[in-house]
């Protein structure tokens, strides 16, 4: 193999691994580590390599999967027509340039003295969706995906009240097929509520309502119906099915409203660009008072005739533009840099700021991420810095105001360069940074900071849920050296705990009782409690469903772990390494010997005879006569298991109407396909029907 190709192959493998990991972080853990732009960059690099060296397109390439949702377990369908995106204008000049392009394109056919009639609409910061109605009945809801093909999220849209099951018949005439486009958003109040609940459960809060909405829509496991019910669908386009004679975007919005959809009430006709700019300013001023987040104004040419004449270039129409709001910024003083030590020993520098208001919230700290980031921005204590919130809850330090540093230096003030400490601020161990890594770490596994964070993690509600074991108590237990490793927690005795400061007999009894209760857990919760990197609720659930017991997981090879649907190479490596480590194995053994336990797999636990579906793996697809959860429950009660996507290990595909790619795959792999009646028979213990 030519050296160049070898190198490309190595890089492609690396990229595929990275993309898998980021997919898992984004889609399964809802906690992306990199921005969308950075993700797109990795993806583009892989695309380039794969098109240059076609032989590289391996089975595990993220590019083998359709849409933007690898490993998601949703069926995919082509859109009725492509779901376009919008070009952006960042300022008035760019907006005027857009109008000039329109005039130029229309040329002589349009009187350039005439003002163009626009419709200005809020640019909703959510997740684009296509709803297809057949004879007025909701047939399918698709995510935007890659614009050509989307994922079938109909089941998850059912609980959303503003997605009508039927178009209102008293409205505009109902066409045989209507393709309605709009945005799924999570209103501010519900977003705040969701994040409060997540923080209370010790889960990371969502960065913004957009991520939270997209995450809610794409839930596969343990669907949270309350989260779905809090979503809102706002309609803004009709790609197919407009009543004949529809001449304007305004009448499209009227049609949508007449069918029962929510149409943004802030939308306005604007006579000429100046009126559109005025609307943009009004929306900008009022954005924080709106119930949903918006990040600009979409300005669309009202006349459908003009829209048709203008058409589209590549991914965006020529007749509309997104006029974006500038990010909200403020300047303040960087008073200091504090270093926090995380659960994995990572040192995170945190900027301590003179409190400042940005976009409606007071900001007094913000993460500086790592040493490279500090150097890239040349951030020094004493600097005046610009803080920004761009749609995200988490503020960023954008840059240093250098003029202010120069002035300060002239006045004799010092601005020393900042270096992360060479010693861990908590245990004084020498910190280290591995070649190729951006993170500086404290390598001491017994570092009290790591232990404290690990204990808090173990005690949180999603893990062993130890009632009353909060931050202060954890600090006391570690500082008094009563707890030197996780398992020490379960060896604590009442008198010991009672001897802690501000601790009475009753509180000590309560803690010991809570610890006793938390010993009975599930395998998934136990895996979360161990604090393995990248193992959150979803991955723990996947592992526990796959292995059923701890022993086979501890005996599994990296390849076996990685072969599980939804587990990427980084996660597999992290799990494998953790479980291979002698100290960790001893900890696991000690935790179990101190009484931490969970029910064995279903068959062993109940001691019952085999159930009709024991050992069988099912995939559901297409539209079924009841919500998927109904079938999931029926199958699981009969001892079967639901998996997200079709593979050689699948025993049956239960297919409803309009089954798509999964049905094709099942047929290719010769997997038995059942309809609902067939499934029912199987559950009743009758011989498997042949379909």
Q: Which sequence positions are flagged as catalytic?
A: 123
Count interface residues toward ligand IVH (CB under 6 A): 14
Paired tokens of 379: 């951030």
Among 152, 183, 293, 328, binds ligand IVH (CB under 6 A): 183
User: Minimum distance from CB of 250 to ligand IVH (Å)?
Assistant: 13
- Binder to ligand IVH among 121, 130, 302, 541 (CB under 6 A)? 121
**Angle at alpha carbon of residue 330, lines to 329 and 332, rounded to 5°:** 145
320 lines the binding site for ligand IVH (CB under 6 A): yes
DSSP 8-state code for residue 148: S
Residue closer to ligand IVH by CB (options 43, 198) is: 43
CA 456 to chain centre: 24
Instruction: State in angstroms the smallest separation of the CB of 157 from ligand IVH.
Output: 15
Q: How many CB atoms lie within 10 A of CB 153?
A: 25
User: Of 19, 84, 292, 374, which one interacts with ligand IVH (CB under 6 A)?
Assistant: 84
Residue 30 CB contacts under 8 Å (≥ 6 apart), including other chains = 206, 211, 212, 215
CB closer to ligand IVH out of 128 and 536? 128
User: DSSP secondary-structure letter at 111?
Assistant: -
Task: Tell whether residue 85 is a contact of ligand IVH (CB under 6 A).
Answer: yes
Residue numbers 288-317 binding ligand IVH by CB under 6 A: 298, 317
Provide the minimum distance between the beta carbon of 38 and ligand IVH in the complex, in angstroms, as a whole number: 18
Which one of residues 174, 237, 397, 619 is an interface residue with ligand IVH (CB under 6 A)? 237
C-alpha span between 543 and 524 (Å, rounded):
7
Q: Are 119 and 269 in contact (CB under 8 A)?
A: yes
Q: Which two tokens stand for residue 684?
A: 């009743």
User: Would you count residue 124 as binding ligand IVH (CB under 6 A)?
Assistant: yes
Helix axes 188-200, 209-217, angle to 10 degrees: 80
Q: Which stretch binds ligand IVH (CB under 6 A): 81-89, 441-449, 532-540, 682-690?
A: 81-89
DSSP assignment letter at 688: P
Q: Which 647-676 positions form the footprint of ligand IVH (CB under 6 A)?
A: none
Cβ closer to ligand IVH: 237 or 477?
Answer: 237
Does position 322 bind ligand IVH by CB under 6 A?
yes
Contacts of 503 (CB under 8 A, 6+ apart): 476, 497
128 touches ligand IVH (CB under 6 A): yes
Please choose, out of 120-128, 408-416, 438-446, 637-645, the segment that lies near ligand IVH by the rule CB under 6 A.
Answer: 120-128
Shortest Cβ 319–ligand IVH spacing (Å): 8
User: Closest Cα to residue 651, out of 677, 680, 628, 619?
Assistant: 619
Which CA distances in Å does 135 have to 128, 150, 173, 236?
23, 22, 10, 20
Task: Tell me how far apart the alpha carbons of residues 347 and 352 are, in angstroms, rounded to a whole number.
Answer: 15
Site residues (CB under 6 A) for ligand IVH, limited to 376-395: none
User: Among 593, 660, 654, which residue's Cα sits nearest to residue 625?
Assistant: 654
Cα 640–chain centre separation: 29
Q: Cβ closer to ligand IVH: 89 or 220?
A: 89
State the nearest-atom distance from the C-beta of 253 to ligand IVH, in Å: 10
The window from 73-81, 82-90, 199-207, 578-586 that contacts ligand IVH (CB under 6 A) reads 82-90
Nearest residue to 530 via CA among 465, 446, 464, 599 = 464
Quick check: helix, strand or coil at residue 561? Answer: helix
The distance of closest approach from Cβ of residue 107 to ligand IVH in the complex, given in angstroms and rounded to an integer, is 22
Contact track, ligand IVH, 197-236, x by CB under 6 A:
---------------------------------------x
**Six-digit token string for 273:** 């660009």
The minimum distance between CB 320 and ligand IVH, in angstroms, equals 5
Q: Which stretches of the chain bind ligand IVH, using CB under 6 A?
A: 84-86, 121, 123-124, 128, 183, 236-237, 298, 317, 320, 322
């Amino acid at each position: 193999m030519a050296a160049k190709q070898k190198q490309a192959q190595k890089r492609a493998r690396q990229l595929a691994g990275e993309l898998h990991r980021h997919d898992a972080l984004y889609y399964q853990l809802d906690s992306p580590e990199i921005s969308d732009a950075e993700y797109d960059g990795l993806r583009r690099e892989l695309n380039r390599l794969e098109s240059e060296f076609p032989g590289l397109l391996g089975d595990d390439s993220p590019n083998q999967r359709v849409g933007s949702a690898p490993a998601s377990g949703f069926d995919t369908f082509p859109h009725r027509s492509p779901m376009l995106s919008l070009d952006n204008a960042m300022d008035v000049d760019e907006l005027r340039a857009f109008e000039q392009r329109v005039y130029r394109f229309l040329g002589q056919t349009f009187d350039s003295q005439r003002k163009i009639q626009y419709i200005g609409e809020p640019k909703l910061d959510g997740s684009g969706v296509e709803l297809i109605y057949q004879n007025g009945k909701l047939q399918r809801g698709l995510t935007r995906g890659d614009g050509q093909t989307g994922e079938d999220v109909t089941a998850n849209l059912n609980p959303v009240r503003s997605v009508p099951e039927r178009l209102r018949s008293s409205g505009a005439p109902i066409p045989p097929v209507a393709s309605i486009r709009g945005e799924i958003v999570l209103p501010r109040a519900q977003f705040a509520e969701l994040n409060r609940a997540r923080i209370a459960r010790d889960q990371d809060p969502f960065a913004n309502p957009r991520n939270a909405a997209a995450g809610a829509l794409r839930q596969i496991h343990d669907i949270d119906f309350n989260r779905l019910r809090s979503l809102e669908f706002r309609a803004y386009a009709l790609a197919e099915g407009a009543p004949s004679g529809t001449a304007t975007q305004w009448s499209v919005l009227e049609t949508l409203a007449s069918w029962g959809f929510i149409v943004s009430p802030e939308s306005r006709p604007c006579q000429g660009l100046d009126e559109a700019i005025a609307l943009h300013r009004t929306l900008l001023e009022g954005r924080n008072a709106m119930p949903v987040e918006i990040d600009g104004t979409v300005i669309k040419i009202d006349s459908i005739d003009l829209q048709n004449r203008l058409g589209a270039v590549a991914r965006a129409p020529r007749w509309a533009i997104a006029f974006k709001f500038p990010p909200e910024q403020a300047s303040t003083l960087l008073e200091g840099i504090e270093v926090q030590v995380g659960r994995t020993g990572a040192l995170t520098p945190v900027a301590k700021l003179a409190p400042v208001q940005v976009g409606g919230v007071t900001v007094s700290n913000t993460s500086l991420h790592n040493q490279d980031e500090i150097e890239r921005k040349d951030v020094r204590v004493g600097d005046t810095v610009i803080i920004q919130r761009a749609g995200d809850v988490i503020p960023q330090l954008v840059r240093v105001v250098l003029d202010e540093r120069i002035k300060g230096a002239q006045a004799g003030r010092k601005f020393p360069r900042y270096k992360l400490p060479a010693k861990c601020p908590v245990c004084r161990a020498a910190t280290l940074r591995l070649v190729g890594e951006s993170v500086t770490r404290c390598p001491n596994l017994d570092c009290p900071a790591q232990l404290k964070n690990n204990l808090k993690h173990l005690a949180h509600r999603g893990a062993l849920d130890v009632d009353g074991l909060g931050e202060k108590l954890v600090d006391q237990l570690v500082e008094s050296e009563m707890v030197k490793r996780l398992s020490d927690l379960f060896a604590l005795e009442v008198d010991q705990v009672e001897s802690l400061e501000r601790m009475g007999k009753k509180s000590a009894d309560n803690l010991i009782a809570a610890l006793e209760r938390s010993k009975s857990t599930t395998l998934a919760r136990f895996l979360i409690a161990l604090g393995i990197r990248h193992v959150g609720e979803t991955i723990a659930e996947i592992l526990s469903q796959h292995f059923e017991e701890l022993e086979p997981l501890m005996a599994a090879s990296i390849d076996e772990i990685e072969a599980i649907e939804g587990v990427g190479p980084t996660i597999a490596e992290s799990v494998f390494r953790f479980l291979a480590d002698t100290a960790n194995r001893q900890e696991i053994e000690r935790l179990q010997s101190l009484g931490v336990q969970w029910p064995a797999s279903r068959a062993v636990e109940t001691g019952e005879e085999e159930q009709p579906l024991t050992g069988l793996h099912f995939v559901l697809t297409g539209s079924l006569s009841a919500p998927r959860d109904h079938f999931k429950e029926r199958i699981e009660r009969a001892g079967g298991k639901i998996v997200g996507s079709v593979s050689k290990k699948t025993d049956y595909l239960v297919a409803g109407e309009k089954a798509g790619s999964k049905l094709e795959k099942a047929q290719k792999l010769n997997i038995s396909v059942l309809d609902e009646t067939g499934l029912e028979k199987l559950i009743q213990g009758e011989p498997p029907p042949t379909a």
